[in-house]
Amino acid sequence: MWDSSRGQNIRDKAIFITDTVNPQADIPPTWKCEIWVRDVDLLKPGYNKDSEGEPKIPEHITCQAACAYDIYGKCTGMLSLERLNILLHAYNQSERIGLHSTTQPPVQDTATEIVGLLQMYKLQMSSLNNIGKKAKDSNMYCTPRHIMTSLPKRALVTKQKFASPLDFDPSYQAYWSENTGDTVFGASTNAFDTKFTGFSFCHPNYCDYLLHSLVGHALQSTNSLKKLQQHSYSSLIGLVGVRTGT
Amino acid sequence: MTWINDYPEHACVLAKFFADSMLLNPTEVWLDSPTQPQHNKYKVQLIVVWNNQGKQALV
């Protein structure tokens, strides 16, 4: 036992953190979630090989990013500034039209919701490790931007199915997500609850079951619309990964 | 994906992208370090499911 009476005041104020802290990314705990836009030092992995076939050495870069911190000051993840703006806009718009008042659990502040979103994404990514490399690969990357921008212009697409607040394209009128909590960021949930009408696009996660359900639902929608309304159109355009030979 | 052929009236393959033919964007989220744009490692297809009205609106 420490029976010295000296320095008692300082000892009372001291906080000992037993978790590991990354001084490059983490901040002292503020006991609330925070988003900080800051310069971060990162290592850009060397994916390609050089002329001698050796993997390239990771490159050190400094860039501005929006860092999301949990209540302990741990960096949950980083967002590009563009995506942060998209999320903030979607959050405000969703609040304005009253979606937040019906969301359960009750909506906290923007920072808490973004940290929650990143934690959910992290969990999904780690669960993909068990499914396989192909699923993980297909989820780390999103549809090329030129395809996304040309679809509304050339194929009348206005909706995006099986998207996420972290990758939806704001130029589309609406998007559907698999997570119910994403309504905080303006997402509609459960794409299978209603018939597909109009023109939709999706780039689903690599999953045979999901793909079958998706196309099956689209086929049902086209058939039922044909019976109900002669002039209703329905179309689903999807970018899907396929196994060789299937 | 051959089962798409079972619905020739409503489903068809619009385009096929062979491996390495398309540059995929990394997500705008980094959990540890940023990812770089990367070519698709697997064959990818652009498929469409539509009814006649949808077909006519596009063609």
Residues of chain B contacting A241 with CB distance shorter than 8 Å: 40, 42-44
Query: Are the beta carbons of A167 and B28 separated by less than 8 Å?
Result: yes
Query: Are the beta carbons of A144 and B23 separated by less than 8 Å?
Result: yes
Among A44, A230, A240, beta carbon nearest to B33 = A44
Minimum mean pLDDT range among A5-19, A40-54, A211-225, B19-33:
A40-54
Query: Are the beta carbons of A140 and B27 separated by less than 8 Å?
Result: yes
Residue A187 reports pLDDT greater than 60: yes
Q: What is the pLDDT of residues A193-203, one digit of tens each?
A: 888 888 888 88
What six digits make up the tokens of B41? 């490692």
Taking CA–CA distances from B59, the nearest residue in chain A reads A155
Residues A186-223: b if buried by 16+ CB within 10 A, e if exposed:
bbbeebeeebbbbbbbbbbbbbeeebeebbebbbebbb
Among A141, A144, A235, beta carbon nearest to B49 = A235
What six digits make up the tokens of B19? 């491996």
pLDDT-derived band at A91, boundaries 50, 70, 90: very high
Residues A119-135: b if buried by 16+ CB within 10 A, e if exposed:
ebbeeeeeebeeeeeeb
Residue A42 CA neighbour count, 13 Å, CB half: 20
Higher pLDDT, A234 or B58: B58
Contact A1, A30 (CB under 8 A): no
Query: Are the beta carbons of B54 and A79 separated by less than 8 Å?
Result: no
Mean pLDDT score across all residues of chain A:
78
CA-closest candidate to residue A167, choices A191, A134, A132, A143? A143
The 3-class SS string of chain A reads CCCCCCCHHHHHHCCCCCCCCCCCCCCCCCCCCEEEEEEEEEEECCCCECCCCCECCCEEEEEEEEEEECCCCCEEEEECHHHHHHHHHHHHHHHHCCCHHHCCCCCCCHHHHHHHHHHHHHHHHHHHHHHCHHHHHHHHEECCHHHHHHHHHHHCCCEEEEECCCCCCCCCCEEEECCHHHHHHCCEECHHHCCCCEEEEECCCCCHHHHHHHHHHHHHHHHHHHHHCCCCCEEEEEEEECCCCC
Residues of chain A contacting B1 with CB distance shorter than 8 Å: 240, 242, 246
Percent of chain B at pLDDT > 70 equals 83
Higher pLDDT, A100 or A57: A100
Higher pLDDT, A217 or A127: A217
Residues of chain A contacting B18 with CB distance shorter than 8 Å: none
How many angstroms separate the CA of residue B19 from the nearest CA in chain A?
A: 10
Taking CA–CA distances from A154, the nearest residue in chain B reads B58
Query: Are the beta carbons of A143 and B44 separated by less than 8 Å?
Result: no
